[in-house]
């Protein structure tokens, strides 16, 4: 049996000469446990929010988006037609986007008009996020608009209003712009069919219209600003992205979902690790209790240390005993914290104990949680590293005295 471990484990559970040492040891374990538990819970909650946000963006963002490398628009025929008929592609949507001034009765709002080709509403998860009306953009020769909730709220749009038309204004590309004259503007009116709510940035920015309506408004013939592609479930997205990039050529760039919202995903990751570092710093402060516990234990066991020395124990062996004691204190707190953190996260997943304030206005009623084994391993290694450093600092004093 490992002698330092055997003696350290006996010291951990045995009664000390002074009750204050037992109390300090218990506080040390408690401090490590609470710090570990907090790290697990916070990381799991961040994972939960990240999953919710990504799922919302996945509803709006396509698997792949093709745009021109330079310029704003390109003609529909410029893209290789082989992309449309790839077996992995289940929906190919041509898109034409432009900023426009919306007017609904007496109110005005600046938004982005997103014209989409027929078939956009087929197998589209956006219909699950409709809060009013239907996911309809065109029926025969009639065109309809689908504004976001933020736009609809500001303009006070009601889809059941028979006289409610949205008039869209854009600059006439063939005329010199004059903000004092409406003759330099093009305008078209359209009836709203529904209102969607995905995420605040989208809800306040986008209004969907048929591609033919957008081309008429902007005075385009067959131009588009992007082509959006939805892939089959289980498709190798990285391989397909490379294949489509080769088919599209050097004049186009193909972005996956992560690249389309690169800044958002980087921000979410940065926030998660920033909080992790803050809690780790708090945990470092908490581990000072381990230093105090080992220091007090060394003072309490001076007779044992002298006895070990008389029996031939080296200074290195004695230091390993008390170092192991500190590691065991850290290990006890870390394991207890991991178990307790997992239990709290499981209870939140199962029973949604902690609700969001104003949860009725959110797509979720309680704090989302997603536990990842990688986080548990990382938290455990971080806690053990901090505890080991603290334990080593504790036995440095012992080295000077032995």
pLDDT in tens, 62-74: 999 999 999 999 9
User: Has residue 354 got a pLDDT over 60?
Assistant: yes
Residue 400: pLDDT band (50, 70, 90) is: very low
Higher per-residue confidence, 293 vs 245: 245
Higher per-residue confidence, 149 vs 21: 149
Which has the closest alpha carbon to 279: 29, 23, 50, 44? 44
User: Has residue 360 got a pLDDT over 70?
Assistant: no
Compute the distance between CA of residue 244 and CA of residue 89 in angstroms, rounded to an integer.
11
Higher per-residue confidence, 184 vs 256: 256
Q: What is the pLDDT of residue 276?
A: 92
Residue 46: pLDDT band (50, 70, 90) is: very high
Residue 303: pLDDT band (50, 70, 90) is: confident
Q: What is the pLDDT of residue 18?
A: 59
Averaged pLDDT for residues 355-368: 71
Compute the distance between CA of residue 341 and CA of residue 336 in angstroms, rounded to an integer.
8
Domain ranges of the chain: 3-57+265-401, 62-259
Averaged pLDDT for residues 296-323: 86
Averaged pLDDT for residues 38-65: 89
Averaged pLDDT for residues 93-116: 96
Task: Write out pLDDT tens, residues 235-290.
Answer: 999 999 999 999 999 999 999 998 998 888 888 889 988 999 999 998 898 888 88
Residues above pLDDT 90, as percent of the chain: 63
Q: What is the pLDDT of residue 131?
A: 92
Compute the distance between CA of residue 10 and CA of residue 268 in angstroms, rounded to an integer.
46
Average pLDDT, whole number, for the chain? 89
Which has the closest alpha carbon to 191: 234, 229, 162, 155? 162
Which residues in 327-362 are b (16+ Cβ under 10 Å) and which e?
A: bbbbbbbbebbbebbbebbeebbeebeeeeeeeeee
Task: Write out pLDDT tens, residues 161-180.
Answer: 988 999 999 999 877 766 55
User: Has residue 401 got a pLDDT over 50?
Assistant: no
Among positive and negative, which fits the CA dihedral 384, 386, 389, 393?
negative
DSSP state of 29: H
In this structure, what token pair is assigned to residue 60? Answer: 């709006």
Averaged pLDDT for residues 26-36: 93
Residue 324: pLDDT band (50, 70, 90) is: very high
Q: What is the pLDDT of residue 20?
A: 73
Compute the distance between CA of residue 30 and CA of residue 26 in angstroms, rounded to an integer.
6
Cβ neighbours of residue 196 closer than 8 Å, sequence gap 6 or more:
126, 129, 130, 131, 135, 146, 147, 148, 149, 203, 208
Give the DSSP H or E segment for 235. Answer: none
Higher per-residue confidence, 304 vs 87: 87
Q: Any idea which of 12-16, 94-98, 351-355 has the lowest mean pLDDT?
A: 12-16
């Amino acid at each position: 049996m490992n002698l330092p471990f055997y003696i350290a484990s006996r010291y951990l559970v045995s009664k000390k000469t002074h009750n204050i040492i037992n109390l300090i040891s218990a506080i040390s374990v408690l401090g490590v446990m609470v710090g570990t538990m907090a790290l697990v819970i916070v990381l799991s909650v961040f994972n939960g929010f990240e999953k919710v946000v990504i799922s919302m963006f996945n509803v709006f963002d396509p698997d792949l988006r093709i745009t021109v490398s330079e310029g704003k628009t390109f003609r529909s025929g410029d893209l290789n037609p082989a992309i449309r008929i790839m077996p992995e592609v289940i929906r190919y949507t041509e898109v034409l986007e432009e900023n426009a001034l919306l007017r609904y009765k007496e109110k005005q709002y600046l938004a982005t008009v997103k014209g989409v080709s027929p078939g956009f509403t087929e197998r589209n998860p956006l219909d699950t996020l409709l809060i009013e009306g239907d996911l309809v953009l065109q029926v025969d020769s009639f065109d309809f608009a689908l504004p976001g909730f933020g736009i609809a709220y500001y303009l006070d749009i009601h889809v059941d209003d028979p006289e409610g038309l949205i008039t869209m204004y854009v600059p006439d590309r063939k005329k010199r712009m004059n903000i004092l004259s409406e003759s330099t503007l093009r305008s078209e009116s359209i009836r709203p069919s529904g209102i969607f709510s995905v995420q605040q940035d989208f809800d306040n920015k986008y209004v969907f219209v048929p591609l033919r309506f957008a081309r008429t408004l902007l005075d385009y013939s067959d131009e588009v600003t992007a082509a959006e592609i939805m892939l089959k479930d289980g498709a190798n997205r990285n391989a397909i992205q490379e294949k489509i990039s080769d088919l599209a050529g050097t004049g186009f760039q193909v972005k996956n979902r992560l690249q389309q919202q690169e800044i958002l995903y980087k921000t979410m990751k940065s926030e998660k690790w920033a909080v992790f570092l803050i809690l780790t710093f708090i945990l470092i402060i908490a581990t000072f209790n381990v230093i105090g516990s080992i220091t007090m234990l060394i003072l309490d066991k001076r007779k044992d240390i002298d006895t070990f020395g008389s029996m031939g124990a080296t200074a290195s062996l004695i230091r390993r005993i008390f170092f192991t004691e500190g590691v065991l204190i850290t290990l006890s707190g870390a394991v207890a914290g991991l178990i307790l953190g997992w239990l709290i996260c499981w209870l939140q997943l199962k029973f949604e104990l902690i609700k969001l304030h104003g949860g009725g206005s959110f797509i979720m009623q309680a704090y989302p949680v997603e536990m990842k084994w990688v986080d548990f391993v990382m938290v455990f290694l971080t806690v053990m590293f901090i505890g080991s450093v603290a334990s080593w600092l504790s036995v440095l004093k012992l080295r000077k005295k032995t």
